Amino acid sequence: MLRALSRADLLILDDWGPEILNADQRRDLLEIVEDRYDRGSVLITSQVPIDRWYEIIGNPTLADAILDRVIHNTYRVELAGESLRKSRAPQPEA
């Protein structure tokens, strides 16, 4: 399955980082980003600030390897403001 992910033109990791990764998840993520490096795009959405990603990955050595591959040639878009879900939610009647 991991090899199939490397063939996609774009891999989207949506809402990344709500929990600390276990050892298997860290190794899988490293393998995915290694396979995709300079071969395909990765789009990562997260509510977790980037300065906490080392903590989420959970192993400093693997975090260095993963983030080095992810951040190289990165375009970063940071959004601010209210959640669209909140602003578009039906308002309770008074």
CA atoms within 13 A on the CB side of 1: 2
Query: Using 50, 70 and 90 to split pLDDT, how confident is the model at 81?
Result: confident
Q: How does DSSP classify residue 43?
A: E
Q: What kind of fold does domain 2-83 have according to CATH?
A: Rossmann fold (3.40.50)
If DSSP codes are grouped into helix, strand and coil, which group holds residue 48? Answer: coil
Stated pTM of the model:
0.76
Q: pLDDT tens for residues 23-72? A: 999 999 999 888 888 888 889 999 898 889 999 999 999 999 999 988 88
Residue 6 reports pLDDT greater than 70: no
